[in-house]
Structure 1
Amino acid sequence: MHAASERSAASARRSAGVPSFSVPSSPVPSSPAPSSPEPSSPEDGGMRLAGVVTMASSGLSNQIGAAIGSLAFPVLGPVGVVAVRQYVAAIVLFAVGRPNLRTLTRQQWWPVALLALVFGTMNLSLYSAIDRIGLGLAVTLEFLGPLSIALAASRRRLDACCAVMAAAGVVTLMRPGPSTDYLGMGLGLLAAVCWASYILLNRTVGRCIPGAQGPAAAAGLSALMFLPAGLVIVVEHPPTAGAAVYAVAAGVLSSAVPYLADLFTLRRVPARSFGLFMSVNPVLAAVVGWVVLGQSLGWTEWAAIGAVVAANTVSILTSRT
């Protein structure tokens, strides 16, 4: 999330709705510290503070956008809301990435097409999970995708313990019960698999297509994939003005705002700090779900969310600099 290609990948992950979303694609690396570091200037401190404020605002915007989008489910359903979000993401990424589609070769198009497919599936599975099990639990399960990528890249015993901790959280969330929604849980895990795949595909796209052109092309292709579904929903279930506003607001708050915030934040905040802050997104999602949607969680759900967040936090804090 630091060089040009990594910034485009990170921003694209956040634009995808990752409550957003999003965390670093691997254990957050840091550049080796210089042998005699210079003291930070007041300007550096101010810029870093601005970056932290931007991260906080972006995280809240992402989760609030997802919560607002769920308010349109009774009219548009998850598919309709995701379709609108894909349209907004495409507009934002095209405006920033400005891809030259005519110059892309066949070898460049195939990873873009896969990225577009994973992009759409990730958002659709996440929003469908939110519809069934709530915002906090859905985002926590999706968060396992990047966390798994990060832990799999390490060979440390401590990271193995972190993986066990995260797995314990998942088992707690999916414990059998009369009201357990296994389909919703499965959709959340599907979103996690898609997010992990999205990270890996972004690396591939970043290597073969410069800048943000690859994610932008993928976002546009994904929007085209959802165009038929959007047309069917408009014809068969004409959206109300309120539902349309909710869906567009979700696209802006969870796509446009996080993407632009990433462009600002990733130049001003150390990678480790960025990764640590992204770790609290499941907590933010649970709080926003409770405040905005009235989706309260029991102590076991909070404990499970805490286990997943703690696993990523410990892994990042103990990673080598």
Structure 2
Amino acid sequence: MRLLLAVPILLLIARPTLRNRTRHDLLAVVAFGTVLGLMNLSFYLSLERLPLGVAVTIEFIGPLGLAAVMSRRRRDFVAVAAAAVGVVLVNGHDLAEVDWLGVGFAAMAGVLWAAYILLSAETGRRFDQLDGLALAMVVSSIIVTPIGIGTSGTDLLHWHYLALGGAIAVLSSVLPYSLETLALRRMNPAVFGILMSLEPAVGALAGLLVLSQRLDAVQIAGMACVVIASIAVTRTSRSELRDL
């Protein structure tokens, strides 16, 4: 519902066209849309088994790995190491109690998140404004809609779910994906990846306030490590960012 209802909104805003597009442009959009759809699918599968804050923190393994590969400064490696400690601590439970399938889905979402960052930047370079994102959302909805219909059927047509789906489409797809696409035209993907590490803390807060999901002191300490890593990168001077 989130992806499908976001499609007409983005198409109305962007009004994209395929005229004069090269084969590489179309391949970039298809790859971006495929990764976007699978990333959402794997993340929601992890939420069935893990608390929201834990799932988001594990998912951060994607941009964390991307930052580690792309970074060329010692400070970034220190930040990556701090975030890695945080990812470990947030899963610091008894191994017998860990839902490994949920961890696997969250980790898969993280890998796809890294690919999303790179493909979003590539699509943003090839398409003006939000054209590429709008076309990619069409692809992603084609991938996930049959799965939604197969699992929920006609329940998706209930006015309550349509209203919720529309609200989530705007707040969780149209606005964030649009802003991320615009940001990645001006920002190095490695820096963007660690800036997004604030999401675990936001996810934990949302899980507590909305879902009453409480995390223990060790997990909170793990998220603190991730946030500290983000702060270290955000303090980078503009001149250093231009060197990346």
Scaled by the length of structure 1, the TM-score of the pair is 0.63
2:217 corresponds to which residue?
299
2:41 corresponds to which residue?
124
How far did 1:102 drift? 4.4
Q: Which runs of 5+ in 2 are unaligned?
A: none
Mapped partners of 1:277, 1:111: distance in 2: 24
Mapped partners of 2:143, 2:168: distance in 1: 19
Q: 1:283 aligns with which of 201, 212, 217?
A: 201
How far did 1:226 drift? 2.5
Q: 1:227 to 1:101 in 2, by over 3 A?
A: farther
2:79 corresponds to which residue?
162
2:24 corresponds to which residue?
107
* 8 A contact 1:174–1:182 mirrored in 2: no
* 8 A contact 1:136–1:289 mirrored in 2: yes
The structure where helix makes up a greater share of residues is: 2
* 8 A contact 2:194–2:233 mirrored in 1: no
2:104 equivalent to 1:186: yes
Alignment of 1:34-113 (within 5 A): 84-113=1-30
Mapped partners of 2:156, 2:3: distance in 1: 19
RMSD value, Cα? 2.9
How many residues are aligned here? 231
Residues 7-27 of structure 1, C-alpha deviation per residue, up to 9 Å, x if partnerless?
Answer: xxxxxxxxxxxxxxxxxxxxx
Q: Name the % identity.
A: 36
Q: 1:140 aligns with which of 51, 57, 60?
A: 57
Q: 1:103 to 1:221 in 2, by over 3 A?
A: farther
Decide which moves more: 91-100 or 289-298.
91-100
Q: Which runs of 5+ in 1 are unaligned?
A: 1-83
Residues 197-227 of structure 1, C-alpha deviation per residue, up to 9 Å, x if partnerless?
Answer: 0111122223333332111111111112223
Decide which moves more: 156-165 or 240-249.
240-249
> What is the letter of the counterpart of residue 108 of structure 1?
D
How far did 1:240 drift? 5.0
1:35 corresponds to which residue?
none
* 8 A contact 1:115–1:198 mirrored in 2: yes
Q: 1:192 to 1:116 in 2, by over 3 A?
A: same
How far did 1:282 drift? 1.7
Mapped partners of 1:93, 1:158: distance in 2: 38
Q: 1:277 to 1:172 in 2, by over 3 A?
A: closer
> What is the letter of the counterpart of residue 136 of structure 1?
G
Mapped partners of 2:194, 2:115: distance in 1: 21
